[in-house]
Amino acid sequence: MARPSSVEQMPPEILEKLQTLLRDPRVNQLEATAKINDVLASLGHETVSKSAVNRYAQKMAQVGKRLQESRDMAQMWIGKLGSAPQGEVGKLLNETIRTLAFETTMKMAEDEEEPVSPKVLAQLSLAVQRLEASATVNLKRDEEIRKQANEEAAEQVGQAAKELGLTEEGAKAIKNRILGIP
């Protein structure tokens, strides 16, 4: 396993200052490195190299890009699913996590140098189990919502049928047809 970078080993408050400097478009990486090294030296810590800061900045840019892509994707789906997309977004998240679990499992299986630890397998198994339980709950909730919507629609159609002069039996037959009752 690769050791943490010198940047990631800095005290959290100094790392936060570096992150702020790297986000500032007026400060380039060389200036950020010099400022952070001044702080580190004044506190008696080891300084960091320009290349370590550059690698860290690239890594953070990549993470930021992926985060922005996921936000864009969520916005697209929310726009597509309407104003109350909770159930659909939940399904989308379940599928995304299921895909990530599969990809992680495949990468672990391909790594011949390091065997998969039982702890990691147990955690992955638990995550998949919870994911499947969540999918089952979502499915039951969707079925209940559909059933309730059908009942409400059947009731409204039955009322409308009566108002239009249909007999009680005729209105009931329409309601039963909507509800799938023979």
Task: Find the domain containing 179 and state its range.
Answer: 85-182
- C-alpha to C-alpha distance for 174 and 182, rounded to whole angstroms: 11
pLDDT value of residue 87: 61
- C-alpha to C-alpha distance for 31 and 33, rounded to whole angstroms: 5
pLDDT value of residue 17: 93
179 within 8 A of 152, measured Cβ to Cβ:
no
pLDDT value of residue 128: 82
The answer to whether residues 42 and 64 belong to one domain is yes
pLDDT value of residue 78: 61
pLDDT value of residue 102: 78
- C-alpha to C-alpha distance for 16 and 19, rounded to whole angstroms: 5
Which tokens belong to 149? 């919507």
| CA distances from residue 171 to 20, 152, 158 in whole angstroms, order as listed | 68, 14, 5
Query: Which amino acid is residue 170, in one-letter code?
Result: G
The answer to whether residues 44 and 102 belong to one domain is no
The answer to whether residues 40 and 90 belong to one domain is no
The answer to whether residues 177 and 99 belong to one domain is yes
Would residue 82 be called left, alpha or beta, if left means φ above 0 and alpha means ψ between -120 and 50 degrees? left
pLDDT value of residue 125: 83
Those residues with Cβ within 8 angstroms of residue 108's Cβ, 6 or more apart along the chain or in another chain = 116, 120
| CA distances from residue 92 to 9, 25, 112, 164 in whole angstroms, order as listed | 36, 35, 32, 44
Domain final residue pick, 83, 113, 129: 83
- C-alpha to C-alpha distance for 72 and 7, rounded to whole angstroms: 30
Task: Per-residue pLDDT tens, the chain, 182 aa: give them.
Answer: 557 788 888 888 999 999 999 989 999 999 999 999 999 999 999 999 999 999 999 988 888 888 788 777 767 766 665 545 456 666 777 777 777 777 777 777 777 677 777 888 788 888 888 888 887 887 888 888 888 888 888 888 888 888 888 888 888 888 888 888 87
The answer to whether residues 69 and 3 belong to one domain is yes
The answer to whether residues 62 and 46 belong to one domain is yes
The answer to whether residues 144 and 179 belong to one domain is yes
